Structure 1
């Protein structure tokens, strides 16, 4: 069994699904706890989701506890600071009533080198001493304003890129695609 969200091998306390025999000895106790299999509600019960087979998925304890009552992938993805990237652009469409953090990110993307791999939110926060939550809120604000298209890397469903929209008629602007989820 694997976690639906991050793909890590999980185990069930009842013994029906166990990790490889050697894996248990290589993991610390804290890692074993994070890898315990749980059932997660795709649509949280607090948002009207039902407790039935169509609405539950196997998740590691770590993903289930960090997801809380958020929706995947629009509001939450696993390890989002490490697996969310900001692509470079020469220009952005004009943005009105954007937050200070949004303006800082807009300035940052125009200074990024398009020849290099895009930086992750974790890398940007480490360099600029920004809080990840503030960056994600600003990216979501800019996405709603039509400045970014969000798309996923096809090989890794938990990896997404914020690509600046330079054409206001871009058909993908405003869409989030993650491994079949939209």
Structure 2
């Protein structure tokens, strides 16, 4: 009976003393190996998430503008947004333009391809240009005719780049969007 009391006491003392230095170093080594292999994959997952978010935002915005043009029988404009302002960059129809800060979708009541405060703003997309670029190769805006086709047959493509990943959204003259994966 006295022996049982000694065994119980020694086990109890062992549990309250904590972990040995060897056990702590072993856990630290395993944890560092797991982090060493997991962190690069986490960065790639974040980069893929940013790219997918921007691709989906553009595609949904284009489809919404087309649907609104058909529904309301009005000209709908999507234009590159000025940094920190609720205005279009310009109404240029040529060259490549940066859409990384977002865009406006509005009903163009005076046909000037620029947003004024009295025009009906359908959507404002505000993006932070962190590690991602969005470029449209046909100027600063897209214009949907009341029948849902691009005005001026301005087919083109958006190139979305986040880090090493790149994707294109190609828009045909009818206004349909298709995705072309790169790298």
Give me the TM-score of the superposition, normalised by structure 2: 0.27
Max Rg structure: 2
Return the structure number with greater helix share.
2
- TM-score normalised by the chain length of structure 1: 0.27
Higher percent of residues as strand: 2
